[in-house]
Amino acid sequence: MEPGSHLKYLLQSQLASDASATRYLPYCLSTLTAESFLPSSHLTKWTTRIHALIHSKDLGTRWAGLCLAYKTALLSQNMMVDSAQSWITGAFPVLSRSEPLPTLKAAIRLLRVILTTAIDIPEFHRQICIPNVVKFTSAVISVAENHPDLELNIMCMETLARMVTLYPTTHRPTSAALFAFCLRRLNGSVISPTNEGILEAASRLYAVLPLTGGKVGAVNLWRKSVDETLAFGWEAFHCLRTTFPVAPNVTRPVPGDDPQVAIPLHRDRLRCSVITIQSLLKTVVHRPVQVPMGNLVKFIFSLLNCSVDGFIDPSIRAMEISVIPDIWTLGCDLLACIAGQFPYRLDSYSGRLLSILAFQLEQKPNTRSQRLSFLKVLDSLLKNCHPADSSILPTRLAKAVLPSITKILVSSSSEGGAENEPSSGKSRNGKKRARNYEGDEVFKTTRLVIYPTEEEGEACLISLDVIQSLFRNPNLASAAQSIIARVIIAILISLPRMAPSSLSSDPTFMQLISDKMENFSFIIGSGTTSVMSKTLPFVIEAALTNDRPKMQRDIGMLLHPRVPPLVRSMPHVESLSLFKAEESQEEAEAVSNLEMASSLHLHNPDEGQGDVVMEECASSITAISNVHEQLSTTTLGPAPFTTVIQQPPKSKAMDRLLNTPSELPPDSQTQDNGQTSGLPPSQKITTVFGSSTGPATESKIGMPSSMIPSLDNEDEDEEMPPIDIESDSEVEED
For 603-660, give the DSSP string: PPTTT---S---TT----HHHHHHHHHHHHTS---S-S--EEE-SSPPPHHHHHHH--
Contacts of 603 (CB under 8 A, 6+ apart): 580, 609, 610, 611
pLDDT, position 710: 40
- In this structure, the number of other CB atoms found within 10 A of the CB of residue 137 comes to 22
pLDDT, position 596: 54
In this structure, which amino acid lies at residue 415?
A: E
Residues 611 and 622: beta-carbon distance below 8 Å: no
pLDDT, position 681: 38
Strand, coil or helix: 451: strand
Please state whether the peptide bond connecting residue 648 to the residue before it is cis, i.e. omega within 30 degrees of 0.
Answer: yes
> Is 323 within the bounds of a domain?
no
> Is 449 within the bounds of a domain?
no
Residues 719 and 613: beta-carbon distance below 8 Å: no
> Is 99 within the bounds of a domain?
yes
Q: Please report how the helices 130-146 and 77-95 are oriented relative to each other, as an axis angle in degrees rounded to 10.
A: 40
HSE on the CB side for 246, CA within 13 Å?
16
> Is 90 within the bounds of a domain?
yes
* Length reported for the chain: 734
Handedness of CA 350, 352, 353, 357 (dihedral sign): positive
> Is 210 within the bounds of a domain?
no
Rounded distance between C-alpha atoms, residue 634 and residue 640, angstroms = 16
Rounded distance between C-alpha atoms, residue 37 and residue 635, angstroms = 67
Total of domains in the chain: 1
> Is 347 within the bounds of a domain?
no
Q: In the beta sheet, which residues pair with residue 699?
A: 643
- In this structure, the number of other CB atoms found within 10 A of the CB of residue 361 comes to 22
HSE on the CB side for 469, CA within 13 Å?
23
633 φ/ψ sector (left φ>0, alpha ψ -120 to 50, else beta): alpha
Q: In the beta sheet, which residues pair with residue 451?
A: 504
Q: How many helices (H) and strands (E) does the chain have?
A: 32, 2
Strand, coil or helix: 697: strand
> Is 214 within the bounds of a domain?
no
Residues 77 and 117: beta-carbon distance below 8 Å: yes
In this structure, which amino acid lies at residue 642?
A: T
Is the pTM value of this prediction over 0.85? no
What is the span of the domain harbouring residue 55?
1-147
- In this structure, the number of other CB atoms found within 10 A of the CB of residue 181 comes to 21
Contacts of 231 (CB under 8 A, 6+ apart): none
pLDDT, position 268: 92
pLDDT, position 309: 60
Q: Residue 95's closest CA among 154, 47, 156?
A: 156
- 3-state SS, 71-122, equals HHHHHCHHHHHHHHHHHHHHHHHHHCCCCCHHHHHHHHHHHHHHHHCCCCCH
> Is 394 within the bounds of a domain?
no
423 φ/ψ sector (left φ>0, alpha ψ -120 to 50, else beta): beta
In this structure, which amino acid lies at residue 729?
A: S
Residue 44: which CATH number? 1.25.10
Q: Please report how the helices 403-420 and 454-471 are oriented relative to each other, as an axis angle in degrees rounded to 10.
A: 110
Residues 304 and 352: beta-carbon distance below 8 Å: no
- In this structure, the number of other CB atoms found within 10 A of the CB of residue 294 comes to 10
Rounded distance between C-alpha atoms, residue 281 and residue 24, angstroms = 46
Q: Residue 648's closest CA among 694, 705, 711?
A: 711
pLDDT, position 436: 58
Q: pLDDT under 50 in the chain at which residues?
A: 416-428, 430, 529-531, 568, 570-576, 598, 601-718, 727-734
